Amino acid sequence: MGQLDEVKQELLRTNDAYRRLYDQHQAAEKRLSELTHRSLPSPEDEVEEKRLKLEKLALKDRMETILREHRAGAPA
């Protein structure tokens, strides 16, 4: 898993699109954490939680696409 982490770190340094997606993913994760730690979430909070989970998944998918494309273009 170390090599994969190195590739992700490289993409964070060199790929603006990957870095933006990562930052958006982190922001969604932070907000989701805030919502899940509420003792009495409102119906709006529950809707936002579901939306954030879907958003995080979509962001992760886009990040994985960039990662796959990078690895396919990198020499073995």
Taking 90 as the threshold, does the pLDDT of residue 2 lie above it?
A: no
User: pLDDT tens digits, residue range 33-59?
Assistant: 999 998 898 999 999 999 999 999 999
As a whole number of angstroms, the distance between CA 49 and CA 30 comes to 11
Count of residues in the chain: 76
Decide: residue 28, CB within 10 A, 0-12 exposed, 13-18 middle, 19+ buried.
Answer: buried
Residues 6+ apart with CB under 8 A from 18: 11, 12, 63, 66, 67
Question: What pLDDT is stored for residue 76 in this prediction?
Answer: 47
